Structure 1
C-alpha cells in the first residue's frame, strides 16, 4: 500500500465519521454539474474536510485524479473514495498462526474439518467468522487466521484446510549458520541500552512481524552501531523471508544473547569459600584466650534459647573477628527452632578446654609390648578371642584378655589394662572391643619361620546337598496331611512355628499332638506315633517334617490324588462352575463386596473364627444373611454341590470361593450396574432420549424426515453394519459413545429394530 492509498482511506474515514455525502460537498464547487473542478477547488475541498497534506502529497493525489483537460475528475475521485478498503493480508504472513492452529488441532486429536463440521449446518463448506473462533478457542492465532481468510464475514473451510496442508507439506528450510555479526550487534544493543523492540515495531505499520529489507537496514544504521555493508547483508540474509526480514526472530536472538551474557557473568564471578566450623571455633578460642574471657559471659542472663537477632547482635558487638557470613553460618547450624538459636552448644565447644592425657600414648606402648611378645613366641590369639565372644557382639571383658596373656607369660599391670580399655571402650566399662585390639597386636605371619607341613591328601570340602529319604511307611501319611493342608488352605509350618516360642526348631510331643488332632482329626493314633518316632518323641524336629511334606507335594499333584482334594471329580466341578446361574451369582457376590468395601473372606469369618477355611453346612446360608447378601434357594443348593467337602459332607469349604472372588476384577460402576439393573436401564434410556432429540432437531432445521433415510429397507430387523451406514448418511455428528447407546437400546439377538428407532426419532419431543 502506497501513500496515496493511505490518504484515500483516511479521507473515507473522515467522510464516514462526519456522516457527510461526498457528492454534496463536491456540488458546492461544481455548480454547473460539469463533473470537473479545478486544482485549487480540489485543495479547498480537502481542506474543508479537515485533511491536512504536505505539498508533495497534494501533487501525488492530484496526479491520480487529473483529467486530460488539467482538471480533477469528480466521478473518478468519488469512486476511489467509496471503493477504498484495507489490503487483505497475504497468506504467507499467517504461516506462523497456521502452525499454532495445527498444534491446537493436534492436541484435540482430530482434523480441521471434523472440528468445524458442527458449525457447518447447511453443509456448504462455509462458516461464519464467529463460529470459527468458537471452534478454535481463544488462542490469538485463530483471530489472525480468521481475519486472513475471511470474505465478508464468511470463511471457506476447504480453503483454510488446503492452506494448512500446503504449509505442512513444505520441505523444512535448510539450517543456517548464525553469523558472528549478529552476536556483536546484540552485545552492542544491550550495552547501549537501546529499546530494540520499539524501534522495529514503530516501522511495522501492518503488525506482520516483518519489514522491508531497506527499512530493516535503515533501522540498524540508525542505532549508531558501527556495521559494515557486508555485516548488514549477513544479518539480512539470515533473517530473510521472501522479500522481507523477520525482525521478531532477530529481537528474540538479541534477548537470548543478553540472558546468555548474564549467565556467563554469574558463572565467572568468584565464589567465596564456605565457612569451616573448626576454623571458626579455633578463632573464637584464640580471641577469648587472648582477652582472658569466656564466651558464656557474653550471653550472661539469657535463657537457654535466644532469638536469631539477639544472637547475631551479641556476636557483632563483641568484635570477635568473625565475619557476618560466619555468624549467619553459626546461626543456621545451631538453630533449635524457627528463628531461635541454642547458643549453649557453641559455648560448650569454645569454653571447654582440650583434655590432654597420656593414657593414649601409654596404650600405644602397651600394644607395642604385646605385639613384640607374640611375635617372639609366634602366637596368634584370634581363635581364642573368638571362643570368648559367644554372642558375636564384638566385645568381652578386658579381664579375659589379661588372663589369656598371663597363660603365655605376658603379665600386664592394672594401669596398662586400664589404658587398653580406655582406647578401645565397649558398651560398658569392663568391656573392650576385641576386633580392633586384635588387629593392632597380631604380628605379621610372614615373619614366622616356615615349618615343613606334612603332606596330606586333598579333601573335598565343598558342601554337597544331602538328599532326604522319606521312609515308605510315612509317604502315604505325609501325602494325606499335605492334601488336607491344601484343601483347608493352611500353612502347617506357620502353625508349628508359632508354637515354638524359643525358636529352637523343635516342639514337645503334646504340642505336636494338639496341632495334628486339631487340623487332622481323621489321623490315626498309630500314624501319629510313627511320625513322632521318626522325627523325635521328646524333641519333634518340625523343620525336617515340613521339608518332607514339600517333597511329597509332587506326588500330591498327580491326577490320582487330585480327585481327593476338592469335593467331587474335577470335570464335574468344572461343569457346575460353567453354569450361567453360578456365573451370575459370583458376579453379584463380587459386586456386593466392591460396593460394601468388604473383603470376600469376611463373609465367613464370624462363623469360622479359627480361619480353618470351612464352616458347617447348616451355617453357610446364615453367613450370607448376616452380611446382608441375599442368595436364592437354588443358588445356595448350587454352592453346596460345588463346595461340599468330599470327606466330610457336613463341611462347606469356602476357601476356593474366596479365591475366585479375589481373582475376579470389577470396578465400582460395573458393580452398581449389576446390583441395580433398573437404574442402569434408566440411564441408557435417558442418554438415548437426548440423542434422539438432537437428531430430531437437526432434521427439523433441514426440513427432512428420518423415514426418508430408511427407504427401501424391508420391515423387521437390519444388521448393525447397515444401521451404522444409515446413521452416517444423515450427515449429523454422532459420537461413538452415543452410537453405542443407540445400539444398546435397539439391538437384540436378530439385529437392530430400525422401525422402532424411526418412530422414536419422529416422536422424540413427545416422549
Structure 2
C-alpha cells in the first residue's frame, strides 16, 4: 500500500512540475469532456487529456494507480476534480493550525529538471564552493550570464545539455583545471538522463552565491562613509607652483573649461575678487578632478593670488589659465604667435607600475599579441564599435573592455586583468585607453603618434614646394606636336565632342579660315583651358597656330584642316569609295593622362619594390576582407577617379595597411599624373576581377537542348467521347464555369466557328485540365463541315451547358429538367469481388466498434485537413485509424483496400476521402445523419 501511495505521489509531483512550467490551469481542459460539470469523466478521456495537454503518456501500472487513488464511479468514470485540486492547491485550507507557507508543496527545480541526489565527499563539496565563488566573480566582472551561454544548445528549453556541449561552451576562467570541471560535472549530472548536465541548476547556484556575497558585503558597505570631496586631504608630495599652474592650464585647454563660470556666481559686483573658501570651492569644481590637484596645491594657488584683506583675485587667475596657450584679442594682433602645449602634454599617458608588475604585464601583453598574430584577430574594430559618443573619445569603460576581451577569446585571469586595467586606465575618468592597448598587442595596427603631428607642417611645406617645382617643369618642358594632337584626340573621343560646332559659327562665309583669337576661343569652348579637360598653355597653342596657319592670310587659322585631323578618331573621309580599307580601332587613340610616367623605363629595383609592395598589400586585403574602394571614393568628391598624394597616404592609414615612404613613392610613380593619384587603376591592379565570360552562345545551346526535349507522356488519358464530356461537365458543374465566355472573344463575327488552335487556347484558359488526346477527340467530334480547320464551338458549348438547363424551355412548359449530378470520385474506383467482400467485412467491424463505443470519427480527420478539402493523405489516414483504436479490428491489408475504395485525386496526389468513409461507417452503424 505504501509503494502505491509513493508511486501516486511521484506522479502528482511530476505532473505539478509540468503544470507550473507551462503555466496552465489543468482544470479547464477537463471541462470539455464534462458538459454537466459532474466532476467525473471516463478513463480514456482522462488520460487523453493528460496526453494532449501535457504530452504525458503513462504506462498501464501508472494509469491503474491513478484510477485506484481517485476512484472509479459505478459507471466507470474518474473524479477529475479531486485530481485537479491536488495538483493546483499547495496547502490544505481546512487546516487552520498551520500557516500556508509551511504547507506549500512546490517543485524544487524549473523546467521539470531534477538535481542529483548523490552527495559528494566533504573535500569535493568545499572545492565546489570555491569553484562557484570563482565562477561567480568571473561572470560578474565580464557581465556573463551562464544561462544564455548554453541556450543555443538547449533547443527545447529543458534545462539540460550533453556533457560535450557543457565542456565546449564553458564560460569560466582560463585557469579552471580538469579536476574542477570533473567536480562540476559530477555535481550537476542529471539523474534521470545519464550523460546530460543540468546547466540551469548551475546557473541558479551562481545566482545564489552572488546574493550570498552581496549580503556579506552589506555590513562593510554600511560602515564606509562616503567622502563628498574628491580631493585628497594629504598629498604624497609638495609640487612647485609652476607645475601646479601647468597642470591646471593643460586641463583647461584639453577639456575646454570656462573657468570664470565657476567663480562669477560668488562675485555679484563683478569686482574680480572673492573669498578664500569660495575660490577653493570653485577651483575644485572646475578642474579638481581633471587636473588631479590636491588640497595643499590649491592652498598654494590661494596664497599666490591672495590680497592683503584675505580675498583672492580669481579674475587674474582665470585669465592666466584660459590664455596659457592663447593670446587675448588675437584678431587685433595678427603678427603675434601663440604658444603651443609641449610635446606629449595632451597625450593620454600610461600609469607607471613597479618593476615586478611591469615584467608581469609585459609577459601578458606578449601572450595576447602572439595569439592575435596567430589567429589574425582584428582587435581595434571591436573596441571602436563601443566608442559611440558625439566624437570618438578613444576610451571604453572597464566593463566594456572585459566584454570585448571575452568576445575575442583573449581571456586572462583576474590578477592579470587587474594589471592591464591599472596600466591602461585614465587616472581621471577610470576609462580604458584602448588604442594604446591595441598598439601594444597588434603589431600591424597603425595608430596616430605625436611625431606625425610635429612633422605635419614640414610635410605641408614639402608638398607645396614639390607642387611649385612640378608647375615650373610643366611650363618649361618641351612638348611634341604629335603628343599634343594625341591628347586632343583623346579628349574628343572620350567626351564625344563634335569639333565643327565650336568653330563654324565664326566662319559665316564658310571659307574654312578664322582668326587666331577665334581659334583660341573655340579651343577653350572645347575644354582646352585651365578650367576644362586640358590646360593648353601658350607654348602648346603656338605650336597649333604654326601648324594650321593659313599661308594666304598669316593672321588666320585653317580650322577645317584641324577639324579633319581631329575627327579622324571616329571615321575616315570618303570611306564609301574604298570599301576594303581597314579602319583603326578607337582604343588606339586613347592616351594616358598627362604626367603619367612611362613604366617601361623603370629600373629593376623599382619594379621589384613595387611588385613586393603590391603582393603584401594584396595578401593583407584578402586575409582581412578589407573593402578599399569606399574609403578612396570618400575623398573623390567630384568622381574624377583621382585624389591627392596626401589623401592617398591617408587612405592607407584608415584601412590600416602599413606602407613605408619608399613603397609609397613606388606606388605614386606608377599611378600619379597631373590630376593626382589614379586610385581606380590602383584598385584594379590590387584586386583584379575576372573577365566576364561570353555566355550568349552557351545560353543559345542550352535553349536548343531544352526545346528539343520530347513532351512528357500523358497520365491516364480518357479514350472515348462520352468520358471526355463527362469529365468536362463534372468540372464545369463543380466550379460553375461558363465555357462560352472563354470562346466568344475569338469569334468576332459570331459565326459559331473558330480555328482549332484558338479552340485549344480557349480550353486552356478555362483550365479544364484536358490532355492532348482528349482535345483531339473533341476537335474530331465538333469539326466544322464548311472548314476542316475550324470547330463548331457553339454546339460544344450547348452540349456542356445542358447540365444546367435546356434551350427554348419557354416553349415547352411541361418539359421536365433533371439536374446533372456528378458522380463522386470514390464511387468510380472499381475493386474485385474478393476485395469488395474484404472491404465490406472491415467496415462492418469498424461500424460495430463505433456503435459500441460511440466514437466520433470526423474530429480526428478534420485536425489533419487544414484546408478543408475533404481528404487526407494515406499516412494520415493510417495514423487516425490507429489513434482511434481500429488497429486491432482491421489489418494493414484491409486499411490499404479501404484507401483504394475511397481514394480521391487532390492536386495530382491520391488521397483518401474521409467524409465518404465516415458517412458510410455511420450508415452501417445505424446512426442518424449528423447525429453519431
Return the TM-score normalized by structure 1: 0.21
More helix by share: 1
Of structures 1 and 2, the larger Rg is shown by 1
Return the TM-score normalized by structure 2: 0.18
